[in-house]
Amino acid sequence: MDSFTTLLDPERLAPWLSRALVDSALLEVARFVLVLVRLSGLMIIGPFFGQTAVPMNVRALLVISLALIITPALPSQLQRGFDRLDENGDGQLVEDEIPPGLEHRRDAILQARHLSPDAGIRADDYLATTVPSPINLIEYAGALLGELSLGFLLGLGVLTILSGLQLAGQIVDQQAGFSLGEIINPDFDSTASVSGQSLFSLGMTMFLVFEPMGGHLTMLRTMIQTFETLPIGEAFISRSAVELVGTLVQQSLLLGLRVSAPLIITMSLVDLTLGFLGHSVPQVNLQGVGYAARAALCMFFLAIMLSGVPEATLSAVPAALESLRDALVNPMERW
């Protein structure tokens, strides 16, 4: 009885309880920071969120609010990911149900639970998520870098597609002779054509309103879905995701050429006509007539092009978002 009373002595329990509370608080702070950093990658470069038109304090408030909402819901996110991967609904994940990029997590769970390599993983084992200790700064810094790169890649992929519209506008200004009127683009801290900025703004508008939900909400949903299969502290960029960015660059170039193709063909015919006219009627002042004709035709075809920009944008951006979601949520291969 005396020994039991000694164990319950407040003076002895106080240091232990204080240490336990501090460790628990540090763990929660570490989890919150990891969630915050993963979302911050999207806010740095993502369309709409990463634009300089959105004040920095607004972006900071948004990412902190989202992190406060998501952090307590991490167990439910993992449960939802487990249910999605469990195709046969038997309550266990076998090797065939786990994407190749997540095999390392399966092996770690099997090793920690001392299970055989061909055993299934139950929901309780899958939900046992470990978070790097904030005391180990090197490992924690590596985890932060992985979290940041995940959100950064998502924003970069979508922005790459929309940049194709700026390329189309650049082609228009070069053909019309408006390239001397380039303006400063604060989003990239560089010069940009007037037509490119106009087409990019139109594409951004289409991105925000396309069905079934806006592109910004779709990006946030994709970012939240990554917590289902990539728990905090275990984020990484797969080889397929990096290769997808190269594919998106090609699609961005195709989008720019698709939008500006009618103008390029028309201007080629105009140049051919002016060249024939210069050889046939040398007395005509082609320098004065040609510039005015090219500018007028470019403005005319630019007005026509505006009707096709929404269709081209709505056919390219949703497909890019879907590809990015598959590459980030279900990674196929690690580096």
The answer to whether residues 94 and 187 belong to one domain is no
**Structural domain ending residue among the three candidates 127, 159, 185:** 127
User: At residue 278, what is the residue type?
Assistant: G
For residue 82, being part of any structural domain is answered with: yes
Does 175 map to a domain? yes
Residue 45 has, within 13 A of its CA and on its CB side, a CA count of: 19
* Residue of 205, 194, 202 whose CA lies nearest to 299: 194
- What is the percent of the chain with per-residue pLDDT over 90, rounded to a whole number? 5
Assess if residue 260 is contained within a domain. Answer: yes
- Helix, strand or coil for residue 197? helix
Evaluate whether residue 15 is within a structural domain.
Answer: no
Q: Are strands 190-192 and 183-185 parallel, antiparallel or unpaired?
A: antiparallel
Residue 161 shares a structural domain with residue 112:
no
Region of poorest pLDDT, from 49-53, 175-179, 305-309: 175-179
Phi, psi of 284 (to 5 degrees): -75, 135
Q: Which residue has the tokens 């004065």?
A: 288
Residue 282 per-residue DSSP state: T
- Residue range 286-296: average pLDDT? 71
Are 191 and 165 members of one domain?
yes
69/169 same-domain check: no
Highest mean pLDDT among 18-27, 84-93, 222-231: 222-231
* Whether residue 87 is found in the same domain as residue 162: no
Please report which helix (H) or strand (E) contains residue 122, including its range.
Answer: strand 121-122
What angle separates helix 309-329 from helix 194-209, to the nearest 10 degrees? 60
Tell how many helices (H) and how many strands (E) occur in the chain: 12, 4
Q: What is the pLDDT of residues 246-265, one digit of tens each?
A: 899 999 998 888 888 888 88
State the total domains in the chain.
2
Both 101 and 220 in one domain: the answer is: no
DSSP, res 212: S
Per-residue pLDDT at 107: 80
Residues 247 and 207 in one domain: yes
Q: What is the pLDDT of residue 36?
A: 93
Q: What's the CA angle centered on 208, arms 169 and 328, to 5 degrees?
A: 95
Average pLDDT over residues 306-312: 81
Mean pLDDT within 232-244: 82
Residue 106 falls inside a structural domain: yes
Q: Percent of the chain, pLDDT > 70?
A: 82
- Tell me the torsion sign for CA atoms 103, 107, 110, 116: positive
Whether residue 245 lies inside any domain: the answer is yes
Instruction: Provide the mean pLDDT of the chain.
Output: 79
Q: Which of 97, 127, 157 is the last residue of a domain?
A: 127
**pLDDT of the residue at 66:** 92
Q: Is 183 left (phi over 0), alpha (psi -120 to 50) or beta?
A: beta
Average pLDDT, integer, range 192-207: 82
Surface-to-core class of residue 63, CB atoms within 10 Å of its CB (0-12 exposed, 13-18 middle, 19+ buried): buried
Q: Last residue of a domain, which of 66, 100, 127? A: 127
Place of tokens 């170039």: 253
pLDDT tens digits, one per residue of 141-187: 888 888 899 889 998 988 899 888 888 888 887 777 666 656 655 55
Classify residue 56: in a domain, yes or no.
yes
Q: Is the pLDDT of residue 55 over 60?
A: yes
Supply the range of the domain harboring residue 223. 145-329
Query: 286 in helix, strand or coil?
Result: helix
| 118 plus 167 within the same structural domain | no
- Statement to judge: residues 31 and 158 lie in one domain: no
Question: Does a structural domain hold residue 163?
Answer: yes
